[in-house]
Amino acid sequence: MDADAKSYPVAGAGMGFRRSMADTLQEAAPGAFDFLEIAPENWIGLGGRFGKWLRHYTERHPFMAHGLSLSIGSPSELDFEFLKRLKVFLREHNIRGYSEHLSYCSDDGHLYDLMPIPFTEEAVHYVAARIRQVQDLLEQRIAMENVSYYAAPGAEMSELDFLLAVLEEADCDLLLDVNNVYVNSVNHGYDPQAFIRSMPAERIMYLHIAGHYNEAEDLIVDTHGADVVQPVWTLLQHTYDCFGPVPTLLERDFNIPPLVELLQEVDQVRFYQNQWKLNHAQTVA
């Protein structure tokens, strides 16, 4: 299955929307980006100037929401009050899709980091049940993102097998983070292209791509604070070869450059998408 044979909630190349962009984003040329993404926790209940800017943009552009605090793997109960507010927020702003991290970030209070869920059969059942709860409450499918991790305590299966098992049992979608695949492939010694090829095409909602920091030859830290490097661009091209030009979002969480520079990387995403379309058209012809 490729992008021509599947319907996605958004299309093309997008980028993360930050409060610091509220004034300047309107200076972007028409068509400079195809969709935007927000962390809903940073915007729910926000009024005043920033609330007005959010409404301004959500009325004019397609938006996705990528959560930070669902903590799907936490031993604590799901935050149902937050989920109720989230449901209203997603509908108020016509958000096209909601995704979260396949990790946890809380127990008795928030940990302010994304902790790895043990790769075990018990964890598969636990997490899948919680994802189904969230989908039932929100009355929509959600996507879980493959996360970067630096240790796998208590692992009884591979990252790949764990991810596939959760997606299947939860019957949810996938936010495929290409940079995280590359980071984990270096840190844990596996073939990133083989990992990508193993992803279930029918579950992919969209892609993430981002920059990272090389701590050592065999240790990469996922920072979202740098430009995308060529090996990740190459892996993105491989992803398009496997699934077609899936909608792709550029993440940049800090060290955010001027808008014109950020949009150059969005253009690079679109270049590879158009390159795939051209090659595909020539193959079909």
Model pLDDT, residue 181: 97
Contact (Cβ atoms closer than 8 angstroms) between residue 148 and residue 180: yes
Q: What is the pTM of this model?
A: 0.93
Instruction: For residue 17, give Cα distances in angstroms to 38, 66, 103.
Output: 6, 11, 23
Share of the chain above pLDDT 90, in %: 71
- Radius of gyration of the CA atoms of the chain, in A: 18
Query: Which residue is it, tokens 């994304």?
Result: 114
Q: What average pLDDT score do residues 193-203 get?
A: 98
pLDDT at 255: 79
Q: Which pLDDT belongs to residue 224?
A: 67
Tokens of 201: 């095409």
Q: What is the mean pLDDT of residues 211-229?
A: 76
- Bridge partner list, 64: 37
Cβ contact 277:245 at 8 Å: yes
User: Residue range 227-231: average pLDDT?
Assistant: 93
Look at residue 208 and tell me whether its pLDDT is greater than 60: yes
| Residue 106: pLDDT over 50 | no
pLDDT computed for residue 66 by the predictor: 97
CA atoms of 142 and 170, how far apart (whole Å): 10
All structural domains of the chain, each given as residue ranges with its CATH number in brackets, are: 3-284 (3.20.20.150)
Strand segments (E) across 69-167:
98-101, 104-107, 109-115, 143-145
Instruction: Please report, rounded to a whole number, the percentage of residues in the chain having pLDDT higher than 70.
Output: 93
Structure letter (DSSP) for residue 2 = -
- Which residues are CB-contacts of 151 (< 8 A; sequence separation ≥ 6)? 116
pLDDT of residue 163 exceeding 80, the answer is yes
Of 110-114, 157-161, 182-186, 280-284, the least confident: 110-114
Q: Which amino acid is at 109?
A: G
Stretch (H or E) spanning 37: strand 35-38
- The stretch 170-188 carries a mean pLDDT of 96
CB 284 within 8 A of CB 276: no
pLDDT tens for 39-91 read 999 999 998 999 999 999 999 999 999 998 888 888 888 999 999 999 999 99
Cα–Cα distances (Å) from 219 to 49, 112, 186, 239, in that order, read: 41, 21, 7, 23
